């Protein structure tokens, strides 16, 4: 169930055989992203704040991983580490077996659209493709505007687009770079409820058409279960990995309402119980000690 994982060659797994019927060992595929004992602090002097502590995480190619946890647990910091925007204080981060460098393999989509207001939709995408000749950048912009359903609005400015359309434009801009990794930091949090659900379906459709490794940050348990192949649950600061949950629902998922499934409700309750308990027992939380069902 769910998106297949790279073969690990474990027990019970079918293996190819040679002419005499002997099993040929299957070499495990290396992870696309590897975080090994990663820690990161912020702040100068004797009082730095430990944001992440001892994170170990492997992410397979074309896996959709959702980072879920309380506010301030280091989810965005993890994205920035994978993007190569910051370096860990301890441990190591590797992307494709190498230290990450900004802009080489990954594109980011933020909660705020970060569009240039003086440029049209097409120009916003082309502007983000400086390595391409101008004509090729314009052609690629047209391709990805069509992919997200905005071809008719290519010459419109961001102020002339709705919130959902602007987020689709921001997503098209990231996809147009054809990154191997798509890093998404609460990209739908600022949208109204209807637009958010539509954009969740749009993201699933687009990543099926144009596969990439996706690392997605959210505070929504429902959104995590809907989108993820695997959910990584982080503790309150300092962020530590407390659980990983494989999401069992098969793809594609945008054609049915998974929330009607009994298993969806069961997994949602499990994740919410863990999040609630972490927040209510964290002395730094605004909700510390409260009774919340």
Judge whether residue 125 has pLDDT over 70: yes
Let me know if residue 290 belongs to a domain: yes
Assess whether 93 and 130 both reside in one domain. no
**64: domain CATH number?**
3.40.50.300
Residue at a domain's end among 155, 178, 201: 178
| Whole-angstrom distance, CA of residue 277 vs CA of residue 292 | 9
48, part of any domain: yes
Task: Please report whether residue 9 resides in a domain.
Answer: no
| 13, part of any domain | no
pLDDT at 62: 95
> Looking at the structure, do residues 99 and 160 belong to the same domain, yes or no?
no
Residue 150 has what pLDDT?
A: 94
Number of domains in the chain: 2
**49 and 125 share one domain:** no
The verdict on residue 131 lying in a domain is yes
**Do both 161 and 37 map to the same domain?**
no
pLDDT-based confidence at 113, cuts 50/70/90?
A: confident
- Same domain flag for 224 and 207: yes
pLDDT averaged over every residue in the chain: 87
Distance separating alpha carbons of residues 249 and 264, to the nearest angstrom: 9
User: What pLDDT was estimated at residue 218?
Assistant: 95
Is position 228 within any domain? Answer: yes
* Weakest-pLDDT range from 39-48, 126-135, 203-212, 236-245: 39-48
pLDDT higher than 70, residue 155: yes
Say if residue 174 is in the same domain as residue 292. no
24: in domain: no
129 pLDDT more than 60: yes
| Helix (H) / strand (E) containing 168 | helix 163-176
Q: Are strands 33-42 and 49-59 parallel, antiparallel or unpaired?
A: antiparallel
Query: Do β-strands 106-109 and 181-185 pair in parallel, antiparallel, or remain unpaired?
Result: parallel
Q: How many CB atoms are located within 10 Å of the residue 250 CB?
A: 9
pLDDT confidence of residue 38: 96
Three-state DSSP state, 211: coil
Q: Which tokens in the block code for residue 177?
A: 């770079």
CA atoms within 13 A on the CB side of 3: 21
Same domain, 42 and 85: yes
- Give CA–CA dist 171/113, Å, rounded: 9
pTM summary value? 0.85
Which of 154, 178, 202 represents a domain boundary (last residue)? 178
Buried b (16+ CB within 10 A) or exposed e, 77-111: bbbbbbbbbeebeebebbbbeeebeebebbbbbbb
226 and 198 Cβ atoms separated by less than 8 Å: no
Of the candidates 178, 197, 215, which is a domain's last residue?
A: 178
Asked if residue 193 and residue 240 are part of one domain, the reply reads: yes
pLDDT value at residue 235:
93
208 and 234 part of one domain: yes
Residues 97, 164 within the same domain: no
Alpha-carbon span 180 to 33, nearest angstrom:
11
Domain enclosing residue 172, as ranges: 115-178
Residues 96 and 204 in one domain: yes
Residues 161 and 198 in one domain: no
The CA-atom distances, in angstroms, between 276 and each of 32, 40, 235, 247 are 32, 25, 11, 20
Residue 292 lies in a domain: yes
Between 261 and 282, whose confidence is greater?
A: 261
Three-class secondary structure of residue 272 per DSSP = helix
pLDDT bin (cut points 50, 70, 90) of residue 24 is low
């Amino acid at each position: 169930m769910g998106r297949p994982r790279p073969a690990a060659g474990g027990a019970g797994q079918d293996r190819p055989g040679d002419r005499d019927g002997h099993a040929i060992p299957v070499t495990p595929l290396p992870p696309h992203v590897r975080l090994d004992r990663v820690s990161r602090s912020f702040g100068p002097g004797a009082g730095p704040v430990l944001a992440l502590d001892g994170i170990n995480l492997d992410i397979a190619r074309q896996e959709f991983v959702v980072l879920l946890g309380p506010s301030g647990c280091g989810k965005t910091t993890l994205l920035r580490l994978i993007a190569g925007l910051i370096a860990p204080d301890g441990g190591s981060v590797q992307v494709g077996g190498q230290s990450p460098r900004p802009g080489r393999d990954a594109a980011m989509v933020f909660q705020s659209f970060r569009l240039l207001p003086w440029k049209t939709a097409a120009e916003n995408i082309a502007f983000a493709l400086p390595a391409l000749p101008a004509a090729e950048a314009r052609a690629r912009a047209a391709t990805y505007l069509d992919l997200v359903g905005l071809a008719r609005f290519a010459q419109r400015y961001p102020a002339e687009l709705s919130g959902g359309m602007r987020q689709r434009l921001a997503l098209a801009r990231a996809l147009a770079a054809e990154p191997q990794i798509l890093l998404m930091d609460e990209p739908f949090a600022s949208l109204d409820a209807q637009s958010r659900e539509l954009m969740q379906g749009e993201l699933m459709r687009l990543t099926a058409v144009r596969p990439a490794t996706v690392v997605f940050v959210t505070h929504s348990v429902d959104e995590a279960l809907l989108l993820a192949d695997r959910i990584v649950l982080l503790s309150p600061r300092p962020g530590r990995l407390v659980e990983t949950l494989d999401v069992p629902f098969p793809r594609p998922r945008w054609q049915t309402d998974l929330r009607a499934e009994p298993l969806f409700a069961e997994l949602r309750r499990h994740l919410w119980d863990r999040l609630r308990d972490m927040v209510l027992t964290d002395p730094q939380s605004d909700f510390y000690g409260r009774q919340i069902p």
